Structure formats: structure tokens, C-alpha cells
Chain A
Amino acid sequence: MTQHTQVILAGIDFADPDTWRLTNYLKRGGYKALRKIFSEKISPEVVIDEVKKSALRGRGGAGFPTGLKWSFMPRQYEGEKYLVCNSDEGEPGTFKDRDIMRFNPHILIEGMLIAAYAMGIRTGYNYVHGEIWDVYERMEEAVEEARSAGFLGNNILGSNFSFQLYNHHGYGAYICGEETALLESIEGKKGQPRFKPPFPANFGLYGKPTTINNTETFASVPWIILNGGEKYLELGKPNNGGTKIFSVSGHVNKPGNYEVPMGTPFAELLELAGGMRGGRKLKGCIPGGSSMPILPGEVMMNTNMDYDSIAKAGSMLGSGAVIIMDETTCMVKALERLAYFYYEESCGQCTPCREGTGWLYRIINRIEHGKGRQEDLDLLDNLADNIQGRTICALGDAAAMPVRAMLKHFRDEFAYHIEYKKCMV
């Protein structure tokens, strides 16, 4: 198999419990990008340009071009501005940010430093998913290491750039992965998404201009600064720059994180993950985290892993969480579990999501338990229609899309379940 260039996980010794420490990060060339900015006096504008050139897109799920997002921050704004890292990784199937912070926390800190420098920000928060408490504690330690070594604080490395970084932990709410819900949560409130506009770049944390990026996005930045945006773009493919960490879970032999270039064929990724467990056939795959539409196995096997290719195949790359389901998987049961998740995690703010997710779940639950009616399938489809695109945030869409895709690709299986009151598989 080809040895790919790695941007984030390169040089990590997963067996070494101290691989995350500052000393080891420095040995791997850590904080060189930051030093380069200071020593070569690279201006904030050039930093943003480099990121634009790299075609780096947000790794949290939405895939918004990072350089463009950074350029939205009001540069001349006098007051406080904030930089926020979204490490609230709770999209089922996604576990890449956890490994970045576990094994390479300083790359995130360096990435945030560069971003803060580029946007003239002095304060940052890293919002860590509540369930990975050990990772939160590790981040606290890493931030402390960086502070003691002069990488965080006032006049960093003797420059006139100052930046403070704090970790904030979640405590069990998927919705806080939504950027405005996350801001509300940092403000000490329920994580209920805000209506946009205004966007965080104008009205973010504490009402101040704020930029929010995903952990993996920030972690990609030091490499871009060291090697140039164009080099990064070349690692992947046009409009889909760089590498991506794919979290592969489900029916594979070696579930885990794999950092590969954008555009890598799915088949190759599957092979990296040890292939199908028990040699069984791939039935379906959710290629971008549980909120994205499922694709049938045969479609996946002919698709490459990048934003555009997956979109063309009928789904979305999302957070890069690849959930593999083999032929033994009951799609009704699988959807029931996902529907339950969205029903549990709806924040309750907007009517269609609050009321609709429970309705969806109850219908699918009935079907799973042999109490379905054939007309339920059209009803499910119609309810998903009535939720999607009608809510403040994307959780409504996230609850609706899996339902519609399942019915699109596996409708027969649902119909069978209703008629025979049992699984097809």
C-alpha cells in the first residue's frame, strides 16, 4: 500500500504514553510554523492567503472553506474577539478529534495560535466533548505546558502577539457540536442554537466577533504554514485540499482513525481498516457521520473519499466518519437507533425538530417491533420533508436525512419488516 504523507498524525508513536508531550512535539518539528511566522515576519494577511490557497475546508462537517471564514473576521474591530475550537465531537461514528487531542494536543494549540495571529484575536476557548474527560484533562495539561514554555500568554516568543487559551468541557449534549449552541454553552446556558444571521463573525461569544473551527481544521494549519498552501492542496485534489482523518467504525477488522489524502478511493480506506469483518459483504455505508445519508455498498465501493465525490454519489463527507455495515445489518434496527439518538438529542427549541424527531422515532420503533403499517413509510418520508430545512440549526436535517436515505435505498427491507413483522436479514 502507498505510504501517504500525513499532516496531523505524522511521526506519532502511539505506543509511547508521552508522545503528546511538548518535548516530543518539539522533536517532531512542533511550533516551527509559529516561529516561522515571527522570524519571517509573515503578515496576518499572508497567513490567511496561504490557508485560502490550501483549499482547506472545515473538518467538522460543513466543509466551509477555512481561509474564507477567517477573512470574515472584522479586522479593525477594537474590542475583544474570540477564537473557539469545536472539539465537541459527538456525531456518531466520529472520533478523530479525540485522537488528535490525545496524541498531538500541541498541534491544535499551534494551529489556534496561528489562527489567532491571523485574525488578531487574544483569547481562545477549546470546547471539549464532555464524555472524553481524560482528553479534557490532557488538554488542560498541554495548555499548561505551552503556557510555561511561553507559547501561550503575553508577548509570545518575544513578539508583540499575545494569546490566552482555555479549555471548556461539555457535559453530555450532542447539540453543542453546532457552533452557535457551543457558544451558548460556553456562556453558561443551555446549548440551544442561535438563529443566523447574525453570524458568529459579527455576533459570537459574548456578542463579540468570533471564529469557530473544528479541531482537525486547526491541526492542519501548522503544516500549511510550514509547507505552503499549494503544497497542501496538492496532497489532495482541487477544491478538496490536503489530507483527512477518517474515523472508520462498524463491521471492519481494524476500526480506527486513518489519515489519508483527500480523494483516496473508499476501497483503499476499507483495506487500511483491515477490510470487512469476517469477510462479509458491504451492505451500506454512512460516509460522513450518522447525520449523512447512507449509501449502498456497491455505490461506496466506486467512490473516492473527498467532498465532491461523495456529494456526487448522493451523500456528504461530513466529519469523515465512515460507518460500515455488512449484510447482517438490519436497516430498520439501525435507523431506529439513529432516530432515537436525534430524538434524545434534539434541544427542544424549534417545533419541527422537538415534535418531529419523537414522531419519527415512534413510528420506526413500531415498525421494528412488528406494529408497522405500510402507510407509515410515506408518512416517514413526508415527516422528514416537514422537518428538513424548517429548523434553526441542522439537527432537524440530520434527523431527517438518514430517514429519507434509508427509505430511498432500503425501502423494501422496511416494507418486508412491516408485512412479516421480522427482519429480512
Chain B
Amino acid sequence: MLSTESLKKIDKEIAKYPADQKQSAVMSALAIAQTEKGWLSSETMDFVANYLDMPPIAVYEVATFYNMYNLKPVGQYKITVCTNLPCALSGGNDAANYLKQKLGIGFNETSADGRFTLKEGECMGACGDAPVLLVNNKRMCSFMSNEQIDRLLEELKK
């Protein structure tokens, strides 16, 4: 169900916790699974549940509680823009609007070519760098002026 590489990574996470607390690795296991699969299908969550000896519903609770998990398929690049107040005061909304216009999609939509999904994000803890956005949860881009956004999209389209 998951690649051996992913399983190795999950095992490394499991090792961080006491032997009888495998469940502690569920957040990282889901993140690793999502990196491999792009999103968390119920089959994937069921697999993770089995792997960690958890009830599947407990995995589902976690997957739906933390908002960086994708419970539906997303585009190749999920771009999450912070529009919270401190960012909004420094152009967060402008960046979001510019992205909407450039990609021709709104929040929670995926571009027709399946390349981009746009999401509205909450505080990323980087308000000093506003506007900020995240690409696929892991790459944070700071000071995203329109020019910077152009450059980023160019790079991602390659």
C-alpha cells in the first residue's frame, strides 16, 4: 500500500515514541503517506490504522482535524496563502487575489490542467514575511509580491 521508502520513514518516526505508543506517529505517518500519494484516501487511512494498530476511525479523526491533510485529491501543487490579519495588513489578500486571477481559480479549486490547487491558510507563524504562502505544505515562500508570485508559478510550471 505504501512504498518501502515511506514505511522506513514511518518506522523512524515510530522509534521516537515509547514502544506502546505507536499511535504517536500517526500525524507523521499520514504526512508521509500524503507525500507519497498526494492525498489520503480511505484505503490509505485504513492502511495507516493497521500499521499503527489504531482503530480506523481514530486515524480519520486525526486526518480531518489537522487541516494540512488532503482528504480529496489536489493538484500537483497545492498553494496555501495566509490571509490572516497580520498578513492581510501586509498584502496577504492581494497575493491571494493575484493568484486567483493568474490561475483562474478560487479557493479550494483546482486548475483545469490539474496543476494547481489554491487554499486559504491560517497563521503560519511567519507574519513578518508577509505575504507568505506554502507550496505542498512543505515549502514556505516569503514576501510574495506579484513579481515573486510570477516567478514561482513560472518555476512550478516547468
Whether A92 touches B85, Cβ cut-off 8 Å, given contacts A131-B140, A188-B25, is yes
The A-contacting residues of B in range 55-80, CB under 8 angstroms, are: 58, 61-62, 65-69
Could you mark each residue 129-144 of chain B with 1 if its beta carbon is under 8 Å from any beta carbon of chain A, else 0?
1100010011110000
> Given A187-B21, A251-B89 in contact, is the A257-B123 Cβ separation under 8 Å?
no
Residue of A nearest to B125 (CB): A89
A399 CB to nearest B CB, Å:
13
Q: Pick the contact of B89: A187, A191, A249 (CB < 8 A).
A: A249
The interface residues of chain A lying within 8 Å CB-to-CB of B31 are 169, 171
Within 8 Å by CB of B123, from A92, A189, A248, A251, lies: A92
Contact residues in A for B41 (Cβ distance below 8 Å): none
Query: Which of B58, B65, B90 is the most central at the interface, judged by chain A CB atoms within 10 Å of its CB?
Result: B65
A91-B123, A189-B61 known; A248+B66 contact, CB < 8 A: no
Known: A133-B139, A190-B62. A172 touches B127 (CB 8 A): no
**B23: CB under 8 A from chain A?**
yes
Q: How many A-B residue pairs have CB under 8 A?
A: 158
Given A132-B140, A133-B140, A168 and B16 contact (CB-CB distance below 8 Å): yes
Q: Is the CB of B85 within 8 A of A337?
A: yes
Q: Which residues of A, 135-187, contact B by the 8 Å Cβ criterion?
A: 166, 168-174, 185-187
Give per-residue flags for A187-208: 1 if the beta carbon is below 8 A from chain B beta carbons, else 0.
1111100000000000000100
B30 A255 Cβ-Cβ under 8 A: no
Partner pick for B24 among A91, A92, A188, CB 8 A cutoff: A188
From A95, A187, A191, give the contact of B128 (CB < 8 A). A95
Contact A95 B90 (CB under 8 A): no
* Most chain A CB neighbours (cut-off 10 Å) among B68, B85, B137: B85
Q: Which among A68-76, A321-329, A353-361, A366-374 touches the partner chain?
A: A321-329
Most buried by A among B28, B89, B121: B89
The answer on a CB contact under 8 Å between A256 and B128 is yes
Contact-residue size bin, chain A (C-beta under 8 Å from the other chain): 35 or more
CB pair A206–B85 under 8 Å, yes or no, is no
Is residue A110 within 8 Å, beta carbon to beta carbon, of the partner chain? no
Q: Which residues of A from 290 to 333 have beta carbons under 8 Å from B?
A: 290, 321, 323-325, 329
Kindly state whether residue A13 has any CB partner on chain B within 8 Å: no
A190 vs B60: C-alpha distance when bound (angstroms) = 10
- How far, in whole Å, are A195 and B68 apart by their CA atoms in the complex? 26
Tell me the B residues contacting A by CB distance below 8 Å.
Answer: 16-18, 21-28, 30-31, 52, 54, 58, 61-62, 65-69, 83-90, 121-130, 134, 137-140
- What are 19 A-B pairs with beta-carbon distances under 8 A? A94-B125, A97-B125, A129-B125, A132-B125, A166-B17, A169-B28, A171-B31, A185-B27, A189-B61, A190-B62, A191-B65, A250-B90, A257-B128, A321-B86, A323-B86, A329-B89, A337-B85, A341-B85, A347-B65
Other 19 A-B pairs with CB < 8 A, given A166-B16, A188-B26 = A90-B122, A90-B125, A92-B86, A94-B123, A98-B126, A131-B124, A133-B139, A170-B66, A171-B30, A174-B123, A190-B62, A191-B65, A206-B21, A248-B128, A249-B130, A250-B90, A255-B90, A290-B86, A323-B127
